[in-house]
Chains A and B, each alone.
Chain A
């Protein structure tokens, strides 16, 4: 490749850090995490198809504290990626580009992801 030694265009370290950058990076991280997490979905479905003996292993995982922790992280990653994904769809439609709107929608995404995660787990434990 002839381009190997050429300087790269201004990259991450050039820009002043601002926290909307964090949301963008976390969107990507949660996307990768959710992709890996689909293994859990497939495991769950295949275990139900295989029968009660195989399903006991899944049940063991989701009743163990570590399994719960993984599922909790999975829930938050899902709601974050979902909420921020909707924010991205608004951008794709050409809306929400004003600086103040971008910061406001960032707050909405963070708070919505936390609130929905809390709601889901309260409902899961039968509290609400």
Chain B
């Protein structure tokens, strides 16, 4: 039983005003990453020792390129959510904490977009 009124519960998104959004996104990306990771490892094992042509051919296949983009999006979203929690737990200086979170989010976007552009240029340009 809850002592909060229905209105308070509806409004109550906690001190960060995002409710369970972070938690839920972490779980959704985790569920997506289970099959995507297994697919990626199996695919990578086929081409990793086989040189440039094999890698380029594998990535340029439409279904592989599409799944790679999904994998990259899910992986970087999941990673930056997780790193944010680690920073929030261990960095107690407010300025450093905010700076750390900003760096993590920017780095995830920069690296994620670099990876996606690489996949698309291999797939469309090759």
Contacts and interface: CB of A to CB of B under 8 A. Distances in A.
Contacts of A52: 52
A44 B118 CA distance: 9
Nearest to B104: A35
A95 interface: no
Given A62-B48, A124-B48, A38 B118 contact: no
Contacts of B79: 31, 34-35, 38
B41 A35 contact: no
Interface string B31-69: 101100110010001001101100110010000000010
Interface of B: 27, 30-31, 33-34, 37-38, 41, 45, 48-49, 51-52, 55-56, 59, 68, 72, 75-76, 79-80, 82-83, 86, 111, 114-115, 117-119, 121-122, 125
Interface of A: 28, 31-32, 34-35, 38-39, 41-42, 44-46, 48-49, 51-52, 55-56, 59, 62, 75, 78, 82, 85-86, 88-89, 92, 120, 123-124
11 contacts: A28-B86, A38-B76, A41-B75, A42-B118, A56-B52, A59-B51, A62-B49, A78-B37, A78-B41, A123-B45, A124-B49
